[in-house]
Structure 1
Amino acid sequence: MNSRKIQKGFWKRLAALAVMAVVCIGLYTASLVDRHPLMENEGREFVKARVIEVIEDNQQSGGVYIGDQTVELELLSGAHQGEHIQAQSSSAYLYGTHCTPNLKVVAIVSESDGELVGSVYGYYREPALLGMIALFLLTIILIGGRRGLYSVLGLAFTFLCIFWFFLPMVYRGYSPVIAAIAVVIATTLVTMYLVGGFTVKATASVLGTVMGVLVAGLLAYLFGKLARVSGYNVSDIESLIYIQEQLDIQVGQLMFAGILIAALGAVMDVSMSIASTLQELHDKNPQLDTRQLFRSGMTVGHDMMGTMSNTLILAFTGGSINTIVLFYAYGYSRMQLMNMYDIAIEIMQGISASMGVVLTVPFVSLIGAWMIVRAARKSSAGNGKTL
């Protein structure tokens, strides 16, 4: 009986993977947008290079770097691969890097009157970043086993939804909020059914997650109306307005779409945790009714509310820590701080996402308890527990 149940679950997950593959193909087709870069890059390319020699250094007495270095580079990629050029490298914080022989860098190369002109863009850090990502994914698979593999697949699908669906739809002029809702629903369905299988608890988690994220978005909209904060009050609005003038992107909705996507992870975590707990409790004690299961879910949710809300608040705070340090150092008054757009946006994002997490608890507890008890009654009449 158990082997038959395992086999049945395997084929259902295989079907989910097949559906995900078909959806990925559809997403890729939707991502084929004819983009026209707003910055002219003709005749210029970013290439991997190696520092051969530092021709002129910019190190002063005392170890201070002033001005630019002049270096000789060997181009390791691009149309001029294998050629050697002289380039300038700044020791600034954001661009350039202090070059030493054999250092791998990224160079900007352009051709002018048949002569190559180059400058060092920055340190070549792609291998380090890819290594970090690979270590993260490998850790999930080694510790989580088959479930970990399904989690990685769900994570990959999430990124595909964002880069192959959300961004192209926004670029084409569609509503960012509607596109974000579609991403939330698609990601939730694939992730929950991959990790939890086609079960009652997975279905309850899907419903609870979607409801929680939509509530977070609605609250953000209402808070924005009350505080008179919109998507046009963000710090980089000048650049976004320029993009809006060139394209049909609905800039005003981007902030609210971002809140929906940002809240998804935490809401999904709470939703699946409570649904799994309810299913486990009912499996251990099938005599529990809907009311008792609901109370158990609320009890578990009470402990999760504080930690998950803390996670979201700290995540938004950590993302703005540089700004917060500046405000603290300059000694801004409470009246000034509480009426700044930046502070209002951070509070609105953190509170609305946390409210989505908190309200997910009763949503999932009620839906999960009702569905689990209902499935158990059907099971006693000869039906299986899985959907």
Structure 2
Amino acid sequence: MSKKTIVFFIIVVLTFLNCSSVFGEDNIENPKPVRGKVLEIISEEEEETTYAEGQTTTVQVIELKMTSGDHKGEKLIVENYIDSMFAYNIEVEEGDNVLVYLEKDENGEIIKGYISEIVRDKYLIYLVMIFFLLLVIVGGLKGVKSIITLLITAFAVLKVMLPLILKGYNPIYLSIGVSIIVIALTLLIISGFNRKAFAAIIGTSGGVLIAGIITLIIGQLANLTGLGSEEAQMLSLIPQGETFNFKGILFAGIILGALGAVMDVSMSIASSMNEIKIANPSITNKELIKSGMNVGKDIMGTMSNTLILAYSGGSIHLMLLFMAHDFSLVEIINRDMIASEIVRALAGSIGLIFTIPITALVASSLYNKIDKSKKIEE
């Protein structure tokens, strides 16, 4: 990694940190769960429910030991309910680690505890560590750079973009700004300050912006509300919910969803064209563009499938539900939620397609201009 890249990376990280300290404060104060360990299931009794005939509720009386928080080390007896009518219940066994919400009195003494979830984060951390390790083993220095760019992307979204949206800032402008910064940082750190990176940055930015413009136009024409999902409806109920631009949030989601695939296509084309130019310095501008387009066409089909399959995979439960209840195709595609997902997948794919000619034209122009300037100097 060059000195310029390191300096640039440090400046941007410091900028993000500054933004996070100013804007990233929590707006909603919620009680935080503490960790506990199941020491013993004291009793487990099954009883009939009073609200549904033939249904049962299992009541577990559990002894927990707090493993975090102000009451760390203390033991607590809690009740855990397993309802046969619920599709999802929290079933625990001795030795399980759980998250617990504590109800306290004015003096800070525990009145009651509720098990809210099984602790799973340590297994997710193991998975992340394996992922990072494989990146380094297979990719070497490139793998290390990939980890850096992933951390920057996560920081930009979680500590800058989302807190600012909660503050009431326009999600459209935020998503565009964050995307361009992420694109520039990712490609410059991975490839360094060179014509290949600049061509990919312009190509990716162009493709993502086109995807965003298509989303805005079709969203307006199709009257998409951005409130088609249950999560969006829940978001509208929080104190800031009335001021949220839900159409803008839908736009932001589509931009971020398309970003990775579009960046991959743009860098692949720019890199291939760079190698072709190095191997054949005398290649004409027209031939170089044609080569870049051919590379892009080969990538286009699989990447479009990648986007569409990714969004389809995320909606598989919903699609199964519609099929099970024998909804017609007309009913399905006219629902706000489904129409939003279709726009999300197709707008991203169209942006990806436009990335190919944009990157090919920009890369060809940059490569030939540099070569011409070198000849003039000679």
Q: Which TM-score applies when normalising by structure 2?
A: 0.91
Counterpart contact for 1:89–1:96, Cα < 8 Å: no
Is 1:54 paired with 2:41?
Answer: yes
1:228-247 maps to which residues of 2 (within 5 A)?
228-243=223-238
Instruction: Name the aligned partner's letter for residue 98 of structure 2.
Output: V
Q: 1:317 to 1:244 in 2, by over 3 A?
A: farther
1:372 and 2:367 matched: yes
> Greater CA deviation, 51-60 or 191-200?
51-60
Give the corresponding residue for 2:143. Answer: 148
| Residue range with higher mean Cα deviation, 180-189 or 100-109 | 100-109
Change (3 A) 1:245 1:160: closer
Letter in 1 for 2:319: I
State whether structure 2 residue 95 is matched by structure 1 residue 102: yes
Partner deviation per Cα, 1:188-219 (whole Å, 9 max, x = no partner): 11000000110001000000111100000111
- Looking at structure 1, the residues matched to 215 and 134 of structure 2 have their Cα atoms a distance apart, in angstroms, of 35
- CA displacement, residues 274-312 of structure 1 (integer Å, 9 cap, x when unaligned): 000000000000011221111001101111111000000
Note closer, same or farther for the CA distance 1:298–1:68 as it changes in structure 2 (3 Å cut).
same
2:132–2:147: 8 Å Cα contact kept in structure 1? yes
Decide whether aligned partners of structure 1 residues 245 and 174 sit closer, same or farther in structure 2, where only a CA change above 3 A counts.
Answer: closer
- The separation in 2 between residues aligned to 1:104 and 1:36, in whole angstroms, is 27
Of residues 126, 133, 141, the one that matches 1:138 is 133
Kindly state the Cα deviation for residue 111 of structure 1 after the two structures are TM-superposed: 1.9
Contact 1:270-1:361 at 8 Å conserved across structures: yes
SS in 2 for 1:187: helix
Q: Cα deviation per residue 1:344-374 (whole Å; 9 max; x = unaligned)? A: 1111111000001111000001101111111
Deviation at 1:250, TM superposition (A): 2.5
Structure 2 matches for 1:1-387, cutoff 5 A? 10-33=2-25, 35-37=27-29, 41=31, 45-58=32-45, 66-91=57-82, 97-112=90-105, 114-243=109-238, 248-382=243-377
Task: Give the match's secondary structure for 1:67.
Answer: strand
Change (3 A) 1:309 1:326: same
C-alpha change, 1:359 and 1:244, in structure 2 (3 Å) is farther
* Distance (Å, rounded) in 1 between the aligned partners of 2:377 and 2:136: 36
Superposition CA RMSD, Å: 2.2
Residue identity over aligned pairs, in percent, reads 30
* Paired residues of 2:236 and 2:242 also in contact (CA < 8 A): no
Note the alpha carbon deviations across 1:209-263, whole angstroms, 9 max, x for none: 1110000011111121232223244444432322365664323311011111111
Instruction: After superposition, give the CA deviation of every residue in 1:318-340 in whole Å (9 maximum; x if it has no partner).
Output: 00000001011111112212322
Give the distance between the partners of 2:136 and 2:20, measured in 1 at CA.
26
Deviations along 1:5-62, one digit per CA (max 9) or x if unpaired, are: xxxx62222223322332233333333436233x5x3xxx4111111111112579xx
Distance 2:137 2:267 in 1: 21
The answer on whether the counterparts of 1:58 and 1:65 sit within 8 Å (CA) in structure 2 is: no
- Counterpart of 2:101, as a letter, is I
Could you tell me which amino acid in structure 1 is paired with residue 209 of structure 2?
L
Mapped to 1, the partners of 2:16 and 2:161 lie a distance apart of: 13
- Structure 1, 340-349 or 114-123: larger mean CA deviation: 114-123
Mapped partners of 2:104, 2:214: distance in 1 = 53
**1:100 and 1:138 mapped to 2: Cα distance?**
32
* Aligned length, in residue pairs: 367
Residues 82/168 of structure 1: CA separation in 2 closer, same or farther (3 Å cut): same
* Secondary structure of 2:33 counterpart: strand
Choose 171-180 or 107-116, whichever is displaced more: 107-116
In the superposition, relative to structure 1, how do residues 213 and 58 fare at CA in structure 2: closer, same or farther (>3 Å)?
farther
Counterpart CA distance in 2 for 1:280 and 1:147 is 18
Q: Which residue identity does 1:231 align to in structure 2? A: G
Task: Give the corresponding residue for 1:4.
Answer: none
Q: CA deviation at 1:167?
A: 1.3
Q: Does the 8 Å CA contact 2:200/2:270 hold for their aligned counterparts? A: yes
Gap regions ≥5 residues in structure 1: 1-8
Q: C-alpha displacement at 1:270, in angstroms?
A: 0.4
Q: Tell whether the 8 Å contact from 2:24 to 2:160 is kept in structure 1 after alignment.
A: no
